[in-house]
Amino acid sequence: MPYGIERATVIGAGTMGAAIAGHLANAGIPVTLLDIVPTELTPEEEAAGLTLEHPQVRNRIVRAGFERMVNASPSNLFSKALAARIELGNVEDDWERAVGRSDWIIEAIVERPGPKQALMARLDATAPATAIISSNTSGIPIHILAQDRSPEFKRRFLGTHFFNPPRYLHLLEVIPHGETDPAVVNRMRQFAENVLGKGVVVCKDTPNFIANRLLTFIQCDILEYAIQEGYTVEEVDLLTGTLLGRPRTATFRLNDVIGLDVLVLVTENLYPMIPHDEEREILRAPLGSAVLKTLLAHDLLGAKRGQGFYKTVVDEQGNKH
């Protein structure tokens, strides 16, 4: 394989990590997908006499993310058989085996600086010296994730921000921080364009980069405006989706696809980084929205839970709408 990327590890098997692994499999790259180990048994596991040490329990979270990705509609995979290119594991038992043989390690865990920085420290200590390491963060500045890392880590670390769903959305934002080696940026750009079929934009390391800097404000502004003015979710989506020729990415549908918890985290992270009060005020909408708070309190996080602003409907062919 040109560009020296023959095997990858994706850490975090949620909406994005699992789908990125799926797209790597589409492109012929074998990949290991890792997630955390559960700390509690489900009632079903308890009834079956399983313990927290059982491999089935230890890989429950990664398996759930993988299965959601494989069964999603529209499909993340060119064909379901390609799922065989994805190995599953967890960050306790399988880290060395996965990370140790990877040429590219992609972080796609929860959108909080602390856990991401802890993961980068572990990668700094254990990843092969030649591996590229990247974060799929929606907007945490890459230099903040590189803080306190070795010069060797910083040289080969950058942001690779995929859009949801990665199989279908062409854009990939590649974000070097001040100390990323330009040769690494160039290698990633060429690999993404030629192997993953992406349209790459190299962005500056500013909060939320380019696309999400705009999108976050649009989503927040409509959320505030629509609810204050008494519009319904369906009316807003008709106006911002179907009538504009983008039915799947209308405002509230898109919030469900992103994940309402992720939307709130992205907004919370961006809020203190925006210097102008007036601009910043727009970001208060999801942070103060009673509707969002209610959905979050009931764990109705969007597509990943089967319900958010919309109740997901599955038709006879198994397609979700």
Q: How far is the CB of 183 from ligand NAI (least distance, A)?
A: 25
Report how far apart, in Å, the C-alpha atoms of 226 and of each of 204, 220, 255 are: 32, 10, 14
Are 302 and 309 in contact, with CB atoms under 8 Å apart?
Answer: yes
Q: How far is the CB of 267 from ligand NAI (least distance, A)?
A: 11
| Chain residues 31-60 in contact with ligand NAI, contact rule CB under 6 A | 35-36
209 phi-psi bin (left φ>0, alpha ψ -120 to 50, beta other): left
Q: How far is the CB of 269 from ligand NAI (least distance, A)?
A: 9
**Does residue 226 interact with ligand NAI by CB under 6 A?**
no
**Does residue 308 interact with ligand NAI by CB under 6 A?**
no
Q: How far is the CB of 308 from ligand NAI (least distance, A)?
A: 12
Name the one range near ligand NAI by CB under 6 A: 95-103, 108-116, 180-188, 214-222: 108-116
**Does residue 14 interact with ligand NAI by CB under 6 A?**
yes
At a CB cut-off of 8 Å and minimum separation 6, what does 216 contact?
139, 208, 266, 267, 270, 283
At a CB cut-off of 8 Å and minimum separation 6, what does 244 contact?
none
Name the one range near ligand NAI by CB under 6 A: 131-139, 190-198, 200-208, 305-313: 131-139
> How far apart (Å, rounded) are the C-alpha atoms in residues 211 and 8?
26
Q: How far is the CB of 61 from ligand NAI (least distance, A)?
A: 5
What x-and-dash track marks residues 266-305 binding ligand NAI by CB under 6 A? Answer: x-------------------------------------x-
Q: How far is the CB of 256 from ligand NAI (least distance, A)?
A: 10
The binding site for ligand NAI (CB under 6 A) comprises: 11-17, 35-36, 61, 65, 91, 108-111, 115, 119, 136-138, 162, 164, 258-259, 262, 266, 304
